[in-house]
Amino acid sequence: MTFKTLDFKSTLITGGGGGIGFAIAQFFVAQGKEVIICGRTESKLRDASKQLHDCPYYVLDTGDIAAIPAFIKKITGAHPELDCLVNNAGVQRPLDVNEMGVEEFTRKADQEIAINIQGPMHLAVGLLPHFKSKSGAVIMNVSSVLGYIPTSVINPIYNGTKAWVHFWSMNLRTQLEQAAASGGPTVRVIEIAPPSVGTDLHRERKDPNDNKKDKNPSALSVEEFMEDVVKAWKEDRDVIGAGPSQKVVERWYSEFGTDYEKATGKK
């Protein structure tokens, strides 16, 4: 029997203390899933946990790569049923080479790369042995429409990291599908590519509310975003857009999807 996206029992959600991560956690709790959240700020996690029926929470900076192996050992020991990872934590920083010195730019860029790329990779690969011991498991990676078309020029590092998440998700999915076809366990890889959503992601911009609907009519509320994502989960899609990002995702795959499938032997 095919392991579907929502067949998992227990999920770890990074950046689960607010925004998209918290909204995902709310939905999964409502579906009777075990939900574990983690993030950098304990006070936010504590408040979120109370709203999520006192779900377990752990303080973890996903950019602290050295801390991840011990965290994985701890989390799988405390929650052996864990069979889903939602790589949601991320930062978006306005970085301009014309306005910033070398040290400031590279320091902030390195941290953004660690949180947006290295953390998700280390968590996914580190949890794979545990996930492969299950009858099925799911890895969900949150990318961005900006990883498909980098229109937010003030966020060059963010755009690049989310392009990495997109391509990493494609290749990871293919590798794990090939393993499953050879008799290995099923580990699904789902990519979620949000458009502009009214969260606090823009908190470091001059106007931190420029992703809210009253200032950006094309932006989605968190509720609108979740409506599209939940629909796609129930349809068992591997790549999920929401609102305006759905068309961008469809355009990208209509142009390059067949080429990728031919190159990887799917067609």
Specify whether 158 is catalytic. Answer: yes
Q: At what angle do helices 42-51 and 19-30 cross, to 10 degrees?
A: 30
DSSP string, 86-153: EE---------TTTS-HHHHHHHHHHHHIIIIIHHHHHHHHHHHHHTTSSEEEEEEE--GGGTS---T
Give dist(CA 205, CA 193) in Å, integer: 21
Helical (H) or strand (E) element with 58: strand 57-59
Pair 128, 188: CB distance under 8 Å: no
Give dist(CA 221, CA 219) in Å, integer: 7
Give dist(CA 134, CA 115) in Å, integer: 27
Of the candidates 148, 158, 253, 260, the residue annotated as catalytic is 158
Give dist(CA 213, CA 218) in Å, integer: 7
Give dist(CA 95, CA 180) in Å, integer: 41
Structure tokens at 131: 């996930």
- Pairing of β 136-142 and β 84-87: parallel
Collapse the DSSP code of 57 into the 3-class scheme (helix H, G, I; strand E, B; otherwise coil) and give the result: strand
Q: Which residues pair with 141 in a beta bridge?
A: 87, 191
* Catalytic positions, written as ranges: 158
